[in-house]
Amino acid sequence: MTIPETLDTTFEGILFDWEGTAVDGRASDAGVLRERIEALCRYGVYVFVVSARSVDDVDGQLAARPSGPGRLYLCANHGAEAFRANTRGIDLVFRQSWTPQEAAGLERAAALSLAAFEAKGLTVHMAADGPSRYTIDLIPEADRPDPKKAWRTEMLSALDTRLAKADIAGLAGVVDLVRRAACGVRRAGPRSTTSESRLT
């Protein structure tokens, strides 16, 4: 078995979320961060930026073009795509693909999950968010400003109160409810992630 070059290399890496961690919001100036990331890559560090947003959104704000020997990877679209940024621009490294059968299974799992929330008396909003995932908005009536840390704390507090009224034990309880509701759907490797009041 031949090990790919990247997997057979020891390197120092930094991984972080984009919006709300690296930058306060979508209008934030990322100039200083760009300089630091490019400097890290010059020293051989691998940097991984993770975001639910599209690569155009993240790269449009960051616009880093490191020359190496380290690397910058933009893991966008909830991890469904990964791009490497370099002096030439950005190159696609990975993109998740689904068969029609897998897509149908996900749609069925989403319908069962929605019914489970309704049985608990909890109104949620569920929508397809790309070819390989559904997003469940647990507070659909909330007015969502540009994400800020303080706002996230308030949102999580409101979410805990809302879930408690439906006898659901926090976000862990939400994930468990979705998994149990969709257990009859044959689908390999399901994954759930959360961001404030949303489950994907």
Encode pLDDT of 41-83 as tens digits: 999 999 999 988 889 999 999 999 999 899 999 999 877 889 9
* Position 152 pLDDT exceeds 90: no
What is residue 71's predicted lDDT score, i.e. its pLDDT?
94
Does residue 145 have a pLDDT over 50? Answer: no
pLDDT band of residue 2 (cuts 50, 70, 90) is: low
Residue 7: pLDDT band with limits 50, 70, 90: low
Alpha-carbon distance 28 to 47, whole Å? Answer: 20
Report the alpha-carbon distance of residue 19 to residue 32 in Å, rounded: 15
pLDDT in tens, 91-105: 999 888 777 887 787
Q: Which residue has the higher pLDDT, 187 or 56?
A: 56
| 35: Cβ contacts below 8 Å, ≥ 6 apart | none
pLDDT of residue 1: 41
- For the whole model, what pTM was predicted? 0.66
